[in-house]
């Protein structure tokens, strides 16, 4: 199977800024500050890192050096109008030209816990913002005894992703801002928060997939730039919908020991060390119209469980058919084993720390997935 591997790295910085093109009186017009979080994903060629398996650490160090002038600084001294989008563009430009990072597929800036911008490979900016609502639901068509057949509740989260480069079509003078997303979301919060979802028109079978499509149908006419709706049912699972395709994910954490066998003998990465990994399984499948889902999150967990047990709380360097302990090798191994039991798995994200790791995708033309 031909796969695409993207290496991912992240770096935080604390900065002050001022957005002077926003109207006087807007809370971001004046001097204020953020704890920013930058991420980069790159399709790196063989031989780029000092040793095979060292890509994530090398990318992390270059990103950290790239954003260093922004840390504890006034961003306006480096970037004319430091919106999240402009900061992301500044970082990408410097990574390419001064830090020699090839194959950049995505640069993200998160300026708040619940908002940010992702630049895609074509340089298009996708603004995202996360919202929460508290609601009950029950899935009426699940087999008898399935826990989701009982009335229960969740703190649901929704991410709206909007492709800012489509904003010209709406006639707004400036591209999408977070305030506009808030205005669009406000009536949906009123409709969904503190409700039993089954009682809402169109949500008689309120799975994550159905909720994401229900929101898409209602929000897209109000926000033509909408590119994805993401619904988090719990902190570890949910669904994305882009108007035609459903995707779901299930996230697991594993605590494992590794060694990077190809690291130089004097590198600490060569010795036994470990991580609490975040492993995200992405699946793509058609919607089962009766069940209202693609694949049951519960089935994903059950079918994947033997693989999970083989890598959680284990010395991964003892797995005979795992060539090395770097996250790209590990993600490729999980993709291979995972697809044997769940062919709908089409991508594995494996992070050793927040934002640092590898993404291995079964599709060569992986699009920006907003999770």
| Residue 237 touches ligand LPXRUNBV, criterion: CB under 6 A | yes
State which residue, 207 or 259, has the beta carbon closest to ligand LPXRUNBV.
Answer: 207
Least distance from ligand LPXRUNBV to the Cβ atom of residue 131, Å: 18
Q: Please report, as residue ranges, which positions from 194 to 213 form the binding site for ligand LPXRUNBV (by CB under 6 A).
A: 207-209
Q: What is the distance between the alpha carbons of residues 12 and 276, in angstroms, rounded to a whole number?
A: 19
State which residue, 120 or 288, has the beta carbon closest to ligand LPXRUNBV.
Answer: 288
Q: Coil, strand, or helix at residue 320?
A: coil
Of the residues 133, 297, 333, 351, which one makes contact with ligand LPXRUNBV according to CB under 6 A: 297
Least distance from ligand LPXRUNBV to the Cβ atom of residue 294, Å: 5
Residues in contact with ligand LPXRUNBV, counted by CB under 6 A, come to a total of: 17
State which residue, 332 or 342, has the beta carbon closest to ligand LPXRUNBV.
Answer: 342
Of the residues 294, 327, 329, 361, which one makes contact with ligand LPXRUNBV according to CB under 6 A: 294
Least distance from ligand LPXRUNBV to the Cβ atom of residue 309, Å: 14
State which residue, 54 or 238, has the beta carbon closest to ligand LPXRUNBV.
Answer: 238
Q: What is the distance between the alpha carbons of residues 67 and 39, in angstroms, rounded to a whole number?
A: 11
Q: What is the distance between the alpha carbons of residues 243 and 163, in angstroms, rounded to a whole number?
A: 14
Of the residues 236, 267, 344, 353, which one makes contact with ligand LPXRUNBV according to CB under 6 A: 236
| Nearest C-alpha neighbor of 245 from the set 223, 260, 229, 256 | 229
Of the residues 90, 178, 293, 333, which one makes contact with ligand LPXRUNBV according to CB under 6 A: 293
In which element (H, E) is residue 91 found? helix 84-97
Of the residues 12, 103, 274, 298, which one makes contact with ligand LPXRUNBV according to CB under 6 A: 298
Q: What would you report as the CA-atom Rg of the chain, rounded to the nearest whole angstrom?
A: 21
Sign, CA torsion 282/285/289/291: negative
Q: What is the distance between the alpha carbons of residues 178 and 41, in angstroms, rounded to a whole number?
A: 24
Residues 6+ apart with CB under 8 A from 93: none
Q: Where are the alpha helices (DSSP H) in the chain?
A: 55-67, 84-97, 178-192, 208-219, 297-311, 327-341
Least distance from ligand LPXRUNBV to the Cβ atom of residue 228, Å: 17
Q: What is the distance between the alpha carbons of residues 96 and 213, in angstroms, rounded to a whole number?
A: 37
Least distance from ligand LPXRUNBV to the Cβ atom of residue 206, Å: 8
**Residues forming beta bridges with residue 282, ordered by sequence position:** 249, 347
| Residue 214 touches ligand LPXRUNBV, criterion: CB under 6 A | no
| Nearest C-alpha neighbor of 310 from the set 297, 300, 319 | 319
Are 345 and 335 a contacting pair, CB within 8 Å?
yes
| Residue 248 touches ligand LPXRUNBV, criterion: CB under 6 A | yes
State which residue, 197 or 260, has the beta carbon closest to ligand LPXRUNBV.
Answer: 197
Q: What is the distance between the alpha carbons of residues 329 and 322, in angstroms, rounded to a whole number?
A: 7
Q: Please report, as residue ranges, which positions from 105 to 144 form the binding site for ligand LPXRUNBV (by CB under 6 A).
A: 139
Q: What is the distance between the alpha carbons of residues 61 and 44, in angstroms, rounded to a whole number?
A: 15
Binding site for ligand LPXRUNBV (CB under 6 A): 139, 148, 207-209, 233-234, 236-237, 248, 293-298, 301
């Amino acid at each position: 199977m031909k796969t695409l591997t993207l290496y991912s790295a992240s770096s935080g910085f604390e900065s002050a800024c001022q957005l002077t093109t926003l109207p006087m009186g807007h809370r971001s017009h004046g001097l204020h500050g953020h704890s920013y979080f930058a991420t980069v994903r790159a399709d790196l060629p063989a031989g780029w890192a000092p040793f095979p398996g060292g890509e994530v650490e090398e990318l992390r160090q270059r990103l950290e050096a790239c954003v260093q002038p922004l840390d504890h600084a006034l961003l306006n001294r480096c970037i004319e109008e430091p919106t999240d989008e402009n900061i992301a563009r500044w970082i990408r430009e410097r990574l390419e030209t001064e830090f020699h990072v090839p194959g950049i597929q995505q640069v993200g800036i998160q300026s708040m816990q619940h908002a940010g911008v992702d630049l895609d490979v074509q340089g298009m900016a996708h603004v995202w913002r996360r919202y929460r609502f508290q609601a009950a639901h029950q899935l009426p068509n699940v087999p008898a005894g399935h826990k989701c057949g009982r009335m229960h509740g969740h703190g649901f989260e929704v991410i709206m992703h909007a492709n800012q480069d489509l904003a010209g079509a709406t006639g707004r003078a400036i591209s999408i801002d977070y305030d506009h997303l808030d205005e669009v979301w406000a009536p949906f919060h009123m409709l969904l928060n503190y409700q039993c979802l089954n009682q809402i028109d169109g949500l008689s079978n309120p799975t994550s997939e159905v909720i994401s499509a229900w929101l898409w149908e209602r929000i897209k006419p109000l926000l033509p730039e909408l590119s994805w709706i993401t619904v988090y049912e719990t902190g570890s699972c949910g669904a994305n919908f882009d108007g035609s395709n459903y995707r779901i994910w299930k996230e697991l954490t594993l605590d494992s020991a590794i060694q990077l066998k190809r690291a130089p003998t004097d590198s600490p990465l060569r010795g036994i060390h470990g991580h609490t990994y975040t492993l995200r399984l992405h699946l793509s499948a058609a919607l089962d119209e009766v069940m209202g889902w693609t694949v049951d999150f519960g089935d994903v967990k059950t079918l994947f469980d033997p693989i999970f047990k083989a890598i959680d709380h284990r010395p991964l360097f003892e797995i005979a058919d795992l060539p090395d302990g770097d996250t790209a090798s590990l993600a490729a191994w999980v993709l291979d084993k995972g697809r044997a039991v769940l062919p709908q798995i089409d991508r594995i994200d494996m992070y050793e720390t927040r934002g640092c790791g590898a993404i291995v995708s079964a599709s060569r033309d992986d699009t920006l997935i907003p999770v």
